[in-house]
Amino acid sequence: MKMASFGRISQALYRSTLTQTRRQLSAAVHGEEHQAARTWKILTFVVALPGVAVCMLNTYLKMQHHSHENPEFIPYSHLRIRSKRFPWGDGNKSFFHNPHCNALPDGYEEEH
């Protein structure tokens, strides 16, 4: 009988210390999560948003100084090779052809 009561008492103590340890670890993890969330929030406002703003400003300024003229067309033999026709349109223009930017094998469309 003494052994059975000793076993029950030791199990009860073990459970209470285990429960107490779990609560302490839970509280510690909650504190770390709060600190990590705070760190990422600060990084978002101090690093990420100003970085996006600088990239937008850089793009805007480069767009202001960009010339809207096509570069001189030089008919290099290795560029714009057409071994077979494209299956759409007149067969000479790629699927994403832009007449303002993309040259055909004999030059830009606007110059013709």
Written as one string, the DSSP assignment of 29-59 is HHHHHHHHHHHHHHHIIIIIHHHHHHHHHHH
Mean of the per-residue pLDDT values of the chain: 81
Confidence of residue 112 (pLDDT cuts 50, 70, 90): very low
Domain that holds residue 52: 1-61
Is 82 inside a domain boundary? Answer: no
Is 43 inside a domain boundary? Answer: yes
Is 95 inside a domain boundary? Answer: no
The number of domains in the chain is 1
Q: What is the pLDDT of residues 48-69, one digit of tens each?
A: 999 999 999 999 999 888 777 8
Is 47 inside a domain boundary? Answer: yes
Q: What is the pLDDT of residues 2-60, one digit of tens each?
A: 666 666 766 766 666 767 766 666 666 666 778 888 999 999 999 999 999 999 999 99
Report the alpha-carbon distance of residue 80 to residue 19 in Å, rounded.
73
